[in-house]
Amino acid sequence: MLLSGRGSNFEALAEACDRGEIPGRIVLVVSDVPTAAGLEKARARGISSKVIGAGPRATRVEREAELAVALAESRVDLVCLAGFMRILSAEFLARWPLRILNVHPSLLPAFPGLHAQEQAVRYGARVSGATVHFVDAGTDTGPIVGQAAVPVLEHDDARSLAARTLPVEHALYVSSVRRVLEGGWRISGRSVNFPAPGLA
Ligand code: GAR
């Protein structure tokens, strides 16, 4: 799990693993921000955590080399990003094809990048939501694993929309990680096709 901040999506995934809703467990939490609350949440759960690439001095090549070693040492099968604010290089991503997921707080391809909820409110969208997608070299452009809609209400601001969206993100990320780890899915063009329930 890679994060830069609060770590609420990490907690939702960790709790789902504990409840047996996800066929896996979180073995490592990595952050580029030493003070990220998500790191403390990992420690409190007894999950290994590491700070990699903090500060301006480390180059991207150095950061990603260290990250690759940490992921390999922890024998990670799937990498989940949640509020991870570093761009991963195409070279790094190529080593993890269809094995890195991200959660984004909008219905992609609408409102990619930073401040998605603010973008949705400013645009006047009536429906926004959350997307879980595989990570490719673009910004929030990878194949979509799951989406869930959230209404944008009159008088919403970025903060109120984000608060309404967050629990939807949590549930979506849990169900998406479960479906990815259960396997049996195929990529066709940009579409991720999952087996029908009961046929997996
Ligand atoms: C979440 O809302 C996530 O969707 C967003 O950062 C927040 C992290 O919260 N990510 C992005 O905006 C990525 N472009 P968390 O640390 O509590 O999981």
The residues spanned by each domain of the chain are: 1-96, 103-184
**Beta-carbon neighbour count of residue 153 at 10 Å?**
11
pLDDT value of position 53: 87
Alpha carbon 165 to its chain centroid, in Å, reads 14
Supply the residue whose CA is at minimum distance from atom 9 of ligand 1: 83
Contacts for 183 with CB less than 8 Å, ≥ 6 apart: 200
Residue 129 near ligand 1, beta carbon < 6 Å: no
Fold of 1-96: Rossmann fold (3.40.50)
pLDDT value of position 131: 99
Lookup result for tokens 């700070």: 51
Nearest atom, ligand 1, residue 4 CA: 16
3-state secondary structure of 122: helix
Fold of 103-184: Rossmann fold (3.40.50)
Residue 3 near ligand 1, beta carbon < 6 Å: yes
Report residues of the chain scoring pLDDT below 70: 198-200
Is 30 within 8 Å of 2 (Cβ atoms)?
yes
Residue 103 near ligand 1, beta carbon < 6 Å: yes
Residue 153 CA to ligand 1 center (angstroms) comes to 21
pLDDT value of position 54: 83
pLDDT value of position 116: 98
pTM of the model: 0.96
pLDDT value of position 196: 86
* 53, two tokens: 């690439």
Strand boundaries in 67-181, DSSP class E: 79-82, 100-104, 127-134, 144-151
Is 98 within 8 Å of 81 (Cβ atoms)?
no
How far apart CA 97 and CA 49 sit, in angstroms, is 24
